[in-house]
Amino acid sequence: MNNPTPAPFTPPCFEFDGQPVPLQPGDTILQAAQRAGHDVPHLCWHPDVSASASCRVCTVQVDGRPVAACTTTAAAGQRVQCHTSELRTHRLHLLQMLFVEGNHFCPGCEKSGNCLLQEQAAQAGMTELHYEALNPERPVDASHPDVLFEPNRCILCQLCVRASDEIDGKQVFAIGGHGIGTRLLINSESGQLGDSNLDVTDRAAHICPVGALLPKRVGFAVPMGQRTYDNEETRG
Ligand code: SF4
Ligand code: FES
Protein backbone atom coordinates (compact mmCIF):
# COMPACT_ATOMS: atom_id res chain seq x y z
CA MET A 1 0.00 0.00 0.00
CA ASN A 2 1.34 3.46 -0.95
CA ASN A 3 2.17 5.86 1.89
CA PRO A 4 -0.12 8.88 1.85
CA THR A 5 1.58 12.13 0.81
CA PRO A 6 2.35 14.06 4.02
CA ALA A 7 0.42 17.26 4.39
CA PRO A 8 2.63 20.37 3.86
CA PHE A 9 3.83 21.77 7.19
CA THR A 10 2.06 25.00 8.01
CA PRO A 11 3.74 26.94 10.83
CA PRO A 12 1.48 28.48 13.44
CA CYS A 13 0.54 32.01 12.47
CA PHE A 14 -1.10 35.09 13.84
CA GLU A 15 -2.69 37.89 11.85
CA PHE A 16 -0.92 41.25 11.66
CA ASP A 17 -2.96 43.99 10.02
CA GLY A 18 -4.77 41.27 8.09
CA GLN A 19 -1.60 39.43 6.95
CA PRO A 20 -0.55 35.98 8.25
CA VAL A 21 2.72 36.08 10.23
CA PRO A 22 4.54 32.81 11.06
CA LEU A 23 5.59 32.24 14.65
CA GLN A 24 8.69 30.82 16.28
CA PRO A 25 8.63 29.64 19.91
CA GLY A 26 9.02 32.53 22.36
CA ASP A 27 8.46 35.25 19.76
CA THR A 28 7.07 38.58 20.83
CA ILE A 29 4.63 40.22 18.44
CA LEU A 30 7.31 42.75 17.47
CA GLN A 31 9.96 40.13 16.73
CA ALA A 32 7.68 37.95 14.61
CA ALA A 33 6.17 40.88 12.72
CA GLN A 34 9.58 42.42 11.98
CA ARG A 35 10.95 39.08 10.77
CA ALA A 36 8.01 38.88 8.38
CA GLY A 37 8.90 42.33 7.02
CA HIS A 38 6.29 44.43 8.85
CA ASP A 39 7.14 47.80 10.33
CA VAL A 40 6.37 48.01 14.04
CA PRO A 41 7.08 51.54 15.34
CA HIS A 42 9.26 51.46 18.47
CA LEU A 43 11.73 53.54 20.48
CA CYS A 44 12.84 51.71 23.64
CA TRP A 45 13.26 48.29 22.05
CA HIS A 46 16.61 47.04 20.67
CA PRO A 47 17.40 43.46 19.62
CA ASP A 48 20.63 43.36 21.69
CA VAL A 49 19.06 43.99 25.12
CA SER A 50 15.99 42.91 27.07
CA ALA A 51 12.72 44.76 26.47
CA SER A 52 11.45 47.30 29.00
CA ALA A 53 8.15 48.46 27.48
CA SER A 54 8.77 51.98 28.68
CA CYS A 55 7.91 54.15 25.65
CA ARG A 56 4.64 52.53 24.49
CA VAL A 57 5.26 53.64 20.91
CA CYS A 58 4.94 49.97 19.86
CA THR A 59 1.39 49.69 21.22
CA VAL A 60 -0.79 47.39 19.09
CA GLN A 61 -4.23 45.97 19.66
CA VAL A 62 -4.59 42.23 20.20
CA ASP A 63 -8.18 41.22 19.70
CA GLY A 64 -9.07 44.82 20.57
CA ARG A 65 -6.90 45.06 23.71
CA PRO A 66 -3.92 47.51 23.70
CA VAL A 67 -0.57 45.87 24.54
CA ALA A 68 3.14 46.59 24.01
CA ALA A 69 4.28 44.60 20.96
CA CYS A 70 7.86 44.44 22.30
CA THR A 71 6.94 42.46 25.42
CA THR A 72 3.75 40.61 24.47
CA THR A 73 4.26 37.01 23.44
CA ALA A 74 2.73 36.22 20.09
CA ALA A 75 0.24 33.36 19.95
CA ALA A 76 -1.32 31.43 17.12
CA GLY A 77 -4.64 32.82 16.03
CA GLN A 78 -4.16 36.30 17.53
CA ARG A 79 -5.57 39.17 15.53
CA VAL A 80 -3.10 42.06 15.87
CA GLN A 81 -3.76 45.55 14.59
CA CYS A 82 -0.89 48.01 14.36
CA HIS A 83 -1.49 50.67 11.72
CA THR A 84 -5.04 51.77 12.50
CA SER A 85 -5.95 55.46 12.58
CA GLU A 86 -6.63 55.20 16.34
CA LEU A 87 -3.16 53.76 17.05
CA ARG A 88 -1.48 56.23 14.68
CA THR A 89 -3.07 59.08 16.65
CA HIS A 90 -1.98 57.49 19.94
CA ARG A 91 1.61 57.21 18.64
CA LEU A 92 1.61 60.75 17.31
CA HIS A 93 0.57 62.14 20.71
CA LEU A 94 3.22 60.08 22.50
CA LEU A 95 5.87 61.42 20.15
CA GLN A 96 4.64 65.00 20.50
CA MET A 97 4.84 64.67 24.30
CA LEU A 98 8.41 63.40 24.05
CA PHE A 99 9.36 66.35 21.83
CA VAL A 100 7.93 69.00 24.18
CA GLU A 101 9.34 67.35 27.31
CA GLY A 102 12.91 67.82 26.04
CA ASN A 103 14.74 70.06 23.60
CA HIS A 104 14.84 68.37 20.22
CA PHE A 105 16.14 70.85 17.65
CA CYS A 106 16.85 68.36 14.88
CA PRO A 107 18.70 70.67 12.46
CA GLY A 108 21.29 71.43 15.15
CA CYS A 109 21.76 67.86 16.39
CA GLU A 110 24.60 65.59 15.31
CA LYS A 111 22.21 62.63 15.45
CA SER A 112 19.89 64.08 12.82
CA GLY A 113 19.30 61.47 10.12
CA ASN A 114 20.37 58.69 12.49
CA CYS A 115 17.79 59.53 15.20
CA LEU A 116 14.96 57.07 15.83
CA LEU A 117 12.77 59.70 17.51
CA GLN A 118 13.08 61.97 14.46
CA GLU A 119 12.33 59.01 12.17
CA GLN A 120 9.28 57.88 14.16
CA ALA A 121 7.96 61.45 14.16
CA ALA A 122 8.40 61.62 10.38
CA GLN A 123 6.67 58.25 9.94
CA ALA A 124 3.81 59.43 12.16
CA GLY A 125 3.37 62.55 10.01
CA MET A 126 4.19 64.91 12.87
CA THR A 127 4.22 68.50 11.63
CA GLU A 128 3.70 70.40 14.90
CA LEU A 129 4.40 69.99 18.60
CA HIS A 130 0.69 70.34 19.49
CA TYR A 131 1.50 70.67 23.23
CA GLU A 132 3.21 73.59 24.92
CA ALA A 133 7.01 73.14 24.94
CA LEU A 134 8.46 72.84 28.44
CA ASN A 135 11.88 74.12 27.29
CA PRO A 136 13.91 72.49 30.07
CA GLU A 137 17.44 73.73 30.77
CA ARG A 138 19.37 70.73 32.02
CA PRO A 139 23.13 71.21 32.11
CA VAL A 140 25.06 69.33 29.45
CA ASP A 141 27.56 66.88 30.91
CA ALA A 142 30.78 67.16 28.89
CA SER A 143 32.99 65.86 31.71
CA HIS A 144 33.84 62.53 30.05
CA PRO A 145 36.86 62.68 27.73
CA ASP A 146 35.18 60.63 25.01
CA VAL A 147 31.37 60.72 25.47
CA LEU A 148 28.98 63.68 25.70
CA PHE A 149 25.70 63.49 27.65
CA GLU A 150 23.02 65.98 26.55
CA PRO A 151 20.14 65.35 29.01
CA ASN A 152 17.77 67.71 27.17
CA ARG A 153 17.59 65.11 24.40
CA CYS A 154 17.16 62.08 26.67
CA ILE A 155 13.81 60.31 26.15
CA LEU A 156 14.34 57.94 29.12
CA CYS A 157 14.20 54.87 26.89
CA GLN A 158 16.61 53.07 29.25
CA LEU A 159 18.55 51.45 26.42
CA CYS A 160 21.85 52.73 27.86
CA VAL A 161 20.81 51.45 31.30
CA ARG A 162 20.19 47.95 29.98
CA ALA A 163 23.23 47.90 27.65
CA SER A 164 25.56 48.94 30.47
CA ASP A 165 24.11 46.30 32.78
CA GLU A 166 23.47 43.41 30.41
CA ILE A 167 26.29 43.81 27.85
CA ASP A 168 29.04 45.85 29.54
CA GLY A 169 28.45 44.47 33.06
CA LYS A 170 28.90 47.94 34.60
CA GLN A 171 25.63 49.64 35.62
CA VAL A 172 26.86 53.12 34.68
CA PHE A 173 23.28 54.40 34.23
CA ALA A 174 20.00 54.25 36.16
CA ILE A 175 16.61 55.94 36.07
CA GLY A 176 15.68 58.02 39.11
CA GLY A 177 12.97 60.45 40.24
CA HIS A 178 9.24 60.46 39.60
CA GLY A 179 6.82 61.89 37.06
CA ILE A 180 8.11 64.99 35.29
CA GLY A 181 11.21 64.81 37.52
CA THR A 182 12.30 61.41 36.18
CA ARG A 183 15.93 61.60 35.00
CA LEU A 184 18.77 59.47 33.78
CA LEU A 185 21.28 59.17 36.62
CA ILE A 186 25.01 58.55 36.29
CA ASN A 187 26.51 56.07 38.71
CA SER A 188 29.49 58.08 40.01
CA GLU A 189 30.26 60.01 43.17
CA SER A 190 29.78 63.39 41.49
CA GLY A 191 26.94 62.22 39.25
CA GLN A 192 29.08 63.28 36.28
CA LEU A 193 29.87 60.98 33.38
CA GLY A 194 33.60 61.79 33.61
CA ASP A 195 33.74 60.24 37.08
CA SER A 196 31.98 57.03 36.01
CA ASN A 197 33.66 53.93 34.61
CA LEU A 198 32.03 54.34 31.19
CA ASP A 199 34.43 53.60 28.36
CA VAL A 200 33.85 54.83 24.82
CA THR A 201 34.10 51.23 23.61
CA ASP A 202 31.16 50.21 25.85
CA ARG A 203 27.95 49.24 24.06
CA ALA A 204 26.11 51.71 26.29
CA ALA A 205 28.04 54.57 24.69
CA HIS A 206 26.61 53.74 21.26
CA ILE A 207 23.07 52.45 21.78
CA CYS A 208 21.26 55.77 22.39
CA PRO A 209 18.50 56.11 19.75
CA VAL A 210 18.64 59.93 19.96
CA GLY A 211 21.44 62.47 20.39
CA ALA A 212 21.63 62.28 24.19
CA LEU A 213 24.75 60.12 24.43
CA LEU A 214 27.25 60.90 21.71
CA PRO A 215 30.86 59.75 21.26
CA LYS A 216 33.06 62.85 20.93
CA ARG A 217 35.22 63.81 17.93
CA VAL A 218 33.32 61.71 15.40
CA GLY A 219 30.63 64.28 14.58
CA PHE A 220 29.39 64.31 10.99
CA ALA A 221 31.67 61.41 10.04
CA VAL A 222 28.71 60.35 7.88
CA PRO A 223 27.44 63.39 5.95
CA MET A 224 23.81 64.52 6.10
CA GLY A 225 21.90 62.89 3.29
CA GLN A 226 23.76 59.58 3.67
CA ARG A 227 22.51 58.63 7.14
CA THR A 228 20.37 55.70 8.31
CA TYR A 229 16.98 57.34 7.79
CA ASP A 230 17.92 59.70 4.95
CA ASN A 231 16.61 57.47 2.19
CA GLU A 232 14.09 54.68 1.74
CA GLU A 233 16.68 51.94 1.10
CA THR A 234 18.38 52.29 4.50
CA ARG A 235 15.20 52.78 6.53
CA GLY A 236 14.31 50.08 9.05
FE1 SF4 B 1 17.75 56.39 26.19
FE2 SF4 B 1 19.80 57.85 25.30
FE3 SF4 B 1 18.42 58.67 27.45
FE4 SF4 B 1 20.01 56.54 27.64
S5 SF4 B 1 20.66 58.67 27.21
S6 SF4 B 1 17.91 56.70 28.43
S7 SF4 B 1 19.80 55.61 25.60
S8 SF4 B 1 17.65 58.46 25.36
FE1 FES C 1 7.72 48.69 23.04
FE2 FES C 1 8.91 51.03 23.70
S3 FES C 1 9.25 49.78 21.94
S4 FES C 1 7.22 50.00 24.68
Identify the CATH number of the domain in which residue 141 sits: 3.30.70.20
Calculate what percentage of the chain has a pLDDT beyond 70. Answer: 94
Examine residue 66 and state whether it is found in any structural domain, yes or no: yes
Would you place residue 218 in the very low, low, confident or very high pLDDT band (cuts 50, 70, 90)?
Answer: confident
Cβ(74)–Cβ(15) below 8 Å: no
Cβ(73)–Cβ(27) below 8 Å: yes
- What total number of domains does the chain contain? 2
H helix intervals, 7-84: 29-35
Q: Does 78 share its domain with 115?
A: no
Asked if pLDDT for residue 3 goes beyond 70, the answer is no
Would you place residue 77 in the very low, low, confident or very high pLDDT band (cuts 50, 70, 90)?
Answer: very high
Examine residue 231 and state whether it is found in any structural domain, yes or no: no
| 131: amino acid identity, one letter | Y
Q: With a 6 A CB cut-off, is 55 part of the ligand 2 pocket?
A: yes
Span 156-201, pLDDT tens digits: 999 999 999 999 999 999 999 998 899 999 999 999 999 999 999 9
Examine residue 234 and state whether it is found in any structural domain, yes or no: no
Span 100-135, pLDDT tens digits: 999 999 988 999 999 999 999 999 999 999 999 998
Nearest-angstrom CA–CA distance, 109 and 70: 28
More confident residue, 165 or 5: 165
pTM of the model: 0.92
Domain, as residue range, for 150: 88-218
Q: Does 117 share its domain with 212?
A: yes
- Identify the pLDDT of residue 53: 95
Q: Which of the ligands is closest to the CA of residue 50?
A: 2
Q: Does 43 share its domain with 97?
A: no
Q: Residues enclosing ligand 1, CB less than 6 A?
A: 154-160, 184, 207-208, 210, 212-213
Q: Does 213 share its domain with 98?
A: yes
- Identify the pLDDT of residue 159: 98
Nearest alpha-carbon partner for 216 in 150, 140, 159, 145: 145
Distance 201 CA to ligand 2 centre (A): 26
Distance 153 CA to ligand 2 centre (A): 18
Q: Which residue has the CA at smallest separation from atom 2 of ligand 1? A: 208
Q: How far is CA 195 from CA 3, 186, 192, in A?
A: 72, 9, 6
